[in-house]
Amino acid sequence: MTSTESASRAGEGVSPMPGAKAAVAEFIREFKGFRDDIQERLQQQDDRMTMLDRKSHRAMRPLLATAAEAEAPHQKAFAGYLRSGDDDALRGLELEGKAMSTSVAGDGGYLVDPQTSDAIQSVLSSAASIRQIANVVTVEATSYDVLIDHTDVGSGWSGETSVSETGTPSIDRISIPLFELSALPKVSQRLLDDSAFDIENWLAGRIADKFLRAEASAFVSGNGSDKPTGFLNHTKVANGSWVWDSVGYIATGTDGDFDATDPGDAIVDLVYTLGARYRANGTFVMNSKTAGAVRKLKDNDGRFIWADGLAAGEPARLMGYPVLIAEDMPDIASDSHAIAFGDFRAGYTIAERPDLRVLRDPFSAKPHVLFYATKRVGGDVSDFAAIKLLKFGVS
State how far the Cα of 306 lies from the Cα of 339, in Å rounded to an integer.
14
- The amino acid present at 119, given as its one-letter code, is A
pLDDT tens by residue, 193-230: 887 888 888 888 889 999 999 999 999 999 999 999 99
pLDDT at 122: 84
Show the low-confidence residues of the chain (pLDDT under 70).
1-20, 31, 47-74, 88-109, 150-170, 310-313
The helix-helix angle for 199-221 and 114-126 (nearest 10°) equals 40
State how far the Cα of 113 lies from the Cα of 72, in Å rounded to an integer.
9
pLDDT at 14: 52
pTM: 0.72
Distance between start and end Cα atoms, the chain: 151
Length of the chain: 395
Angstrom CA distances, 315 to 231, 285, 289, 319, stand at: 22, 11, 16, 13
Q: Which domains does the chain have, with CATH numbers?
A: 70-149+171-226+351-381 (3.30.2400.10), 231-348+385-391 (3.30.2320.10)
Burial class (CB in 10 A: 0-12, 13-18, 19+), 187: middle
| Phi and psi based region of residue 356 (left: phi greater than 0; alpha: psi -120 to 50; beta: remaining) | beta
Inter-residue contact 380 to 348 (CB < 8 Å): yes
pLDDT at 101: 37
What single-letter DSSP state applies at residue 331? P
Q: Which of 327, 352, 341 is nearest to 127 (CA)?
A: 327
